[in-house]
Amino acid sequence: MSTSAEASGDRSIAAGHAIRQALSGDGAVAMYTEKSFTLPPEAFALPDVAPPGLANLPDAANLFVGRARELALLDEEFAPLLDVTDTSP
């Protein structure tokens, strides 16, 4: 197996074997962690009821130009799931 590598051009990177970390370009940021862990599936489960004061839900997007019928159908389908009371001040 050959270990030679060749790269050309500004900020190019070449490696004959694996590279643990390589950065190239303005604003490149390196992040390194010594230890990490994986969250269990139950950590991603949504609660049955939103916690009091939850106010970080996004507003409805207005990106669907000319899709009033489709948006109305979506609103109708999701209405039972979106029965949320905003308790924020």
What was the pLDDT predicted at 39?
A: 86
Model pLDDT, residue 58: 63
How many CA atoms lie within 13 Å of 15's alpha carbon, on the beta-carbon side? 8
Mean pLDDT in order along the chain per 10 residues (89 residues): 75 78 78 79 80 68 75 85 65
pLDDT at 79: 83
Q: How far is 15 from 26, CA to CA, in rounded Å?
A: 21
Please tell me the pTM assigned to this model: 0.25
